[in-house]
Amino acid sequence: MARINLLSPRLANQIAAGEVVERPASVVKELLENSLDAGATQLDVDIEQGGVRRIKIRDNGHGIVKDDLSLAMSRHATSKIVTLDDLEAVQTLGFRGEALASISSVSRMHLTSKAVGEDEAWRVEAEGKEMTTAVRPASHPEGATIEVRDLFFNTPARRKFLRTEKTEFNHLQEVVKRLALSRYDVGFRLSHNSKQVYDLRPVTDQLHAEHRLGTLLGKKFIENALTIDVEAAGLRLWGWIGLPTFSRSQADLQYFFVNGRVVRDKLVAHAVRQAYRDVLYNGRHPTFVLYLELDPSTVDVNVHPTKHEVRFRDGRLVHDFLFSRIHKVIADVRPESGEMPTQIAEEPESEVASMPTQQSRMAFQREPQGASSSSLPWRSSSDSSGEAAVVRGQLDGLRQLNDNANRAISGIDTNNMFPQGVDPLTGEVLAPDVMGFNGSGSYPVAVDSGERFNNLVAENNEHDMPPLGYAVAQIHGVYILSESSVGLIVVDMHAAHERIVYERMKNAFYAKSVPSQPLLVPINVSVSQTEADLVEDNQTVFEAFGFKVERTGVESVMVREVPIILIDGDIESLVRDVVSDLAVNGSTDVLEARANELMASMACHGAVRANRKLTIAEMNSLLRDMEVTERSGQCNHGRPTWTQLSMSDLDKLFLRGR
């Protein structure tokens, strides 16, 4: 057996380069992060042949003093951390001190720098041979310029794994894009083969930040995005989330930053996916650019060589915070007529593909976001698989709950939104003495809803019209046509009613604190000791959803009570799924997901069917219900429920004004 030898500095650096330097994009990432850590406010990136031939990065940071230039090329040499306490609360993008040494071992690298306050600039060179470097005078303004040529020239095996020039540059461009999204106060210029790709100036206000977003991600994202800025329990979340109807076939328009560091974290992805679960079309992925700010000491960034992953000290708190806040923003979307969304400067259409977006021409109103620190410990799980079993024996009971919710929601005061003399729930013209509900609790007695109704609506100012307007006709028993102050609104009546029924079922179901039923014959479930410990430690998770699960042995648990809505389901499999989710994510919403699947199925079957003729009163009642129902823009399957054509859109169709 070979004797143990000490690796040479060059070989050690080349081994480290295998972790740090995967392709030209990796080089650009490391160098740009160093420049940002040096306080640069302007970064110029010049690329040739996808970065394989040449990478040149220039910054205006504080530079490197002469005596530190040679040391900067050594492994484990950094100015960013000194003690273990520094490592446990890292606030810089880089901290390992391996980037320059690794890059110089597989390329020809030149570093020129002038430190702030010094009179001269200095240059150091390394070409992947010996690790000794020589420093000589140079001409350079304050800051630093790093030039990397002939990447992997001395490791041909690594060079063979590189892709085409276009592919490599696309990866490199994505790195610049992410860093530009992380630091709006820094300017970025990117050119490839002497052709300018980006010229992003530093921005400090919302309008210019959204313009940068539009430049990098396409203006359609901004047109279909909701802003979020909430704070609770020492966490702050801000940024933009795409509307459910603006989704992608791939998870490629998702950017998440933790204290300014771009990360790809499973916990974060899981929380966001669950927040969109009820409103996203099957197989689609949400879009977002989100920023999480928290105490650096509560997040470990030293868990991956490329620093793409992080570990939170309290992952469950972070997960529930992200889920609850994003879920609330989506639920609070309300249509508001008479105002168009903010547009950014015209530019070529991006490659962002979206589902049909009824809201793309409408403004949206959200309720103010509070800073409550309450969390939902059982609302957090991966997608549940399989169809929920239909509990026929409980259908009547849930329909009764739905009827109760219908009556409760009828009490919402919306009179101020509608013209005088028109019923706010139905849009019908009312006799003068029946503006309130009659003694039986049913809708008010309506009078002539034909010509008199239309005349009354026409006489009222446009600002008195409700957001979804008033129904004027039904098309082929499927779509409702409504006249609003903006133009024409088309509603898919089945999809809209399906969402309304579903939301009322959920509200009624959870308002009763999830009623449960004892099992005549308790179910014994064999589990591992670790899984039994999880069940014992998470009793509140099961109790919150009507389950009573007790530990009966070292490797067994007993199910004694289950929620009524899941009484006929596969209880053993359900318990195992919950335990598995707890083990992976630290929390679960498998129980809620199964119940919601069942209620969604019931709502679909209970909603008004196509080809059913509705009266004007019934159509207006549906529109009013949509205006006060959460997530009414999508049905239970994520399909849009309504779309709008403004008067200008209609004029374009018929070439009016030309």
Residue ranges of the chain whose pLDDT lies below 50: 337-402, 404-453, 456, 461-462
pLDDT at 353: 37
DSSP 8-state assignment for residue 446: B
pLDDT at 377: 26
Q: Which of 36, 72, 32, 64 is nearest to 142 (CA)?
A: 64
pLDDT at 406: 44
pLDDT at 414: 34
Q: How far apart are CA 258 and CA 275, in angstroms?
A: 19
pLDDT at 362: 33
What are 37-74's pLDDT values in tens digits? 999 999 999 999 999 999 999 999 999 999 888 888 88
- What are the phi and psi torsion angles at 46 (to 5°)? -115, 125
pLDDT at 407: 44
**In this structure, what token pair is assigned to residue 17?**
């380069």
> Tokens 């307007």 label which residue?
469
pLDDT at 446: 37
pLDDT at 229: 95
**In this structure, what token pair is assigned to residue 131?**
């690790």
DSSP code string of 480-543: EEEE-SSEEEEEEHHHHHHHHHHHHHHHHHHHTT--EEEEEEEEEEE--HHHHHHHHHTHHHHH
* Contact (Cβ atoms closer than 8 angstroms) between residue 324 and residue 330: no
DSSP bridge partners of 61: none
* Contact (Cβ atoms closer than 8 angstroms) between residue 623 and residue 471: yes
DSSP 8-state assignment for residue 582: H
pLDDT at 352: 36
Helix (H, G, I), strand (E, B) or coil at 263: strand
What does the buried/exposed string (b/e) look like for 214-249 if buried means 16 or more CB atoms within 10 Å of the residue's CB?
bbbbbbbbbbbbbebebbbbebebebbbbbbbbbbe
Q: Which of 300, 298, 227, 233 is nearest to 263 (CA)?
A: 300
* Contact (Cβ atoms closer than 8 angstroms) between residue 197 and residue 52: no
* Domains of the chain, first to last: 9-200 (3.30.565.10), 206-365 (3.30.230.10), 400-504+606-653 (3.30.1540.20), 514-601 (3.30.1370.100)
DSSP code string of 89-157: T--SS--SS-HHHHHHHTSEEEEEEE-TT-S-EEEEEE-SS-S---EEEE---SEEEEEEESTTTT-HH
What are 296-337's pLDDT values in tens digits? 889 988 777 667 788 898 988 999 999 999 999 998 876 653
**In this structure, what token pair is assigned to residue 640?**
């849009």
DSSP bridge partners of 334: 365
